[in-house]
């Protein structure tokens, strides 16, 4: 591991990030809001049209009514946007597809209006997660260079505060610069005072850069914080890697335990190489090892389906996006609720017969903590749905017109 010097960090800020923060926007009272108890929902929508950016729509209530992009909302700069809400701020990350990206910050005025408060150019990152009052962003190499850059951003000030680099080849035991295989972080999660980063081992070269020769094991790199120093790697052989590209697969619950979700969908040259079941594993609070007494075989419980993406509701209830064709990440989209405490599995009822997709990576928990609220897109229209974590019953809410729902978040004002 190398930690960039103060001079290098200064140059990185100037040359790589080209920080150009805007002054905080203000309402008629001259202030950007703090938390005063009221909730504003932020719904992101993409039209899918070439050259047309994503829209940010806001609503006081998403349980009823309708909303549209026509003459409404904030239009963002550029497509391929990904989102995170932390410290009562809404962050929009532009994926530059090999080019520099951007991080745009939004907040609510005291009148409840969504307004841009900061915007800076950055490297395109594939991982971004809240840690304490910061955001950890990670640029993950997939081929060519092997160095992964980890950036720390003060979430309250939208300001870069540090950069650390790691060689991803070392996480696969590879010190040969001519050997392409490397680790690829799927996401990052704060667990206690550590940052845990699950990863998959990928080929790292054509013809199948993301192909895996090691799809039957689970790895998590454990880093100290704020130093982001690698402390250890923990491994399990009962399922496959956690999460997937751009997909979180590790969550901490209210008790401080962490649960990992594996789709077991690793392939090499288009052929499924994962032979282990799609499953859930556990890391007990205060430990940095997998709990060998815990294993939830979701593939068996679901009748052969595999986990695609996951989000946490509360009290051990997780919302799962799954696909209908066993053994692949294709087929009919299906939603389910898994109770990791009791190892129970329920298919969601009350949904449309055919789903195009659902925003399980970017959704929220209801105010009472009992339900997950997400966007659901279908051939017949797009709606916000609430899914009860206990009964797994879905209730249809607001209709969203003018584009496909990509995320739903909430802020306080």
Residue burial 15-44, b: 16+ Cβ < 10 Å; e: rest: ebbebeeeebeebeeeebbeeeeebbbbbb
Average pLDDT over residues 175-189: 85
Average pLDDT over residues 132-146: 92
Distance CA 347, CA 276 (A): 22
The region of weakest confidence among 13-22, 100-109, 116-125, 263-272 is 13-22
Q: What is the pLDDT of residue 49?
A: 66
pLDDT tens, 56-112? 999 999 999 999 999 889 988 777 789 999 999 999 998 876 677 789 999 999 999
Find residue 401's DSSP bridge partners: 68
pLDDT of 25 > 50? The answer is no
pLDDT of 322 > 80? The answer is yes
pLDDT of 307 > 80? The answer is yes
Q: What is the pLDDT of residue 324?
A: 63
**Does the CA dihedral 311-313-316-320 come out positive or negative?**
negative
Give the mean pLDDT of the chain: 88
Which is higher by pLDDT, 2 or 333?
A: 333
Question: Confidence band (pLDDT; 50, 70, 90) for 54?
Answer: confident
pLDDT of 32 > 60? The answer is no
Q: What is the number of alpha carbons within 13 Å of residue 18 lying toward its C-beta?
A: 8
Residues, the chain, total? Answer: 413
The region of weakest confidence among 229-243, 337-351, 356-370 is 356-370
Residue 211 near residue 200, CB atoms below 8 Å = no
Question: Confidence band (pLDDT; 50, 70, 90) for 11?
Answer: very low
Pairing state between β 66-68 and 394-401: parallel
Residue 336 near residue 302, CB atoms below 8 Å = yes
Distance CA 133, CA 300 (A): 39
Q: What is the pLDDT of residue 10?
A: 34
Percent of the chain residues past pLDDT 70, beyond the cut? 86
Distance CA 68, CA 383 (A): 11
| Tokens found for residue 398 | 């607001």
Average pLDDT over residues 334-354: 96
pTM: predicted TM-score of the whole model, two decimal places: 0.89
Distance CA 243, CA 199 (A): 8
Q: What is the pLDDT of residue 405?
A: 95
Average pLDDT over residues 45-51: 73
Distance CA 303, CA 160 (A): 46
Question: Confidence band (pLDDT; 50, 70, 90) for 6?
Answer: very low
pLDDT of 18 > 60? The answer is no
Q: What is the rounded (10 degree) CA torsion for 231, 235, 241, 246? A: -10
Q: What is the pLDDT of residue 85?
A: 97
Q: What is the number of alpha carbons within 13 Å of residue 153 lying toward its C-beta?
A: 35
pLDDT of 144 > 90? The answer is no
6 to each of 13, 121, 136, 161, how far by Cα in Å? Answer: 10, 20, 19, 11
pLDDT of 51 > 60? The answer is no
Q: What is the pLDDT of residue 52?
A: 60
Distance CA 36, CA 109 (A): 11
pLDDT of 327 > 60? The answer is no
Residue 359 near residue 404, CB atoms below 8 Å = no
Distance CA 107, CA 159 (A): 15
Question: Confidence band (pLDDT; 50, 70, 90) for 15?
Answer: very low
Q: What is the pLDDT of residue 2?
A: 41
């Amino acid at each position: 591991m190398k930690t960039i010097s103060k001079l290098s960090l200064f140059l990185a800020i100037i040359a790589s990030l080209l920080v150009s923060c805007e002054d905080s926007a203000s309402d008629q009272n001259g202030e950007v809001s703090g938390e005063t108890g009221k909730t504003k929902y932020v719904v992101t929508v993409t039209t899918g049209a070439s050259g047309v950016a994503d829209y940010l729509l806001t609503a006081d209530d998403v349980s009823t009514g309708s909303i549209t992009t026509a003459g409404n909302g904030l239009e963002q700069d550029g497509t391929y946007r990904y989102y995170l809400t932390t410290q009562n701020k809404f962050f929009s990350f532009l994926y530059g597809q090999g080019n520099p990206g951007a991080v745009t910050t939004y907040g609510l005025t005291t009148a409840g209006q969504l307004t841009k408060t900061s915007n800076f150019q950055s490297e395109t990152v594939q991982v971004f997660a809240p840690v304490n009052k910061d955001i950890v962003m990670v640029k993950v190499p997939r081929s060519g260079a092997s160095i992964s850059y980890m950036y720390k951003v003060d979430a309250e000030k939208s300001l870069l505060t540090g950069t650390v680099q790691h060689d991803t080849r070392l996480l696969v035991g590879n010190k040969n610069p001519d050997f392409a295989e490397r680790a690829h972080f799927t996401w990052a999660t704060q667990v206690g005072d550590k940052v845990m980063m699950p990863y998959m081992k990928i080929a790292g070269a054509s013809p199948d850069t993301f192909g895996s020769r090691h799809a039957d094991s689970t790895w998590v790199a454990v880093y100290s914080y704020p130093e982001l120093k690698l402390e250890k790697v923990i491994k399990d052989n009962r399922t496959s890697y956690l999460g997937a590209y751009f997909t979180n697969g590790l969550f901490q619950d209210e008790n401080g335990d962490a649960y990992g979700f594996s789709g077991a969908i690793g392939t090499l040259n288009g052929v499924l190489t994962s032979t282990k079941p799609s499953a859930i594993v556990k890391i007990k609070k205060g430990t940095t090892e997998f709990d060998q007494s815990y294993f939830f075989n979701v593939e068996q419980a679901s009748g052969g389906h595999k986990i695609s993406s996951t989000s946490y509701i509360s009290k051990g209830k997780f919302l799962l996006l799954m696909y209908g064709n066993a053994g692949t990440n294709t087929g009919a989209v299906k939603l389910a609720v898994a109770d990791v405490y009791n190892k129970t599995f329920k298919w969601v009822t009350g949904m449309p017969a055919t789903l195009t997709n659902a925003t399980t990576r970017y959704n929220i928990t209801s105010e009472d903590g009992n339900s997950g609220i997400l966007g659901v897109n279908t051939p017949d229209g797009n709606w916000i749905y609430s899914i009860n974590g206990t009964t797994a019953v879905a209730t249809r809410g607001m209709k969203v017109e003018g584009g496909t729902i990509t995320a739903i978040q909430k802020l306080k004002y």
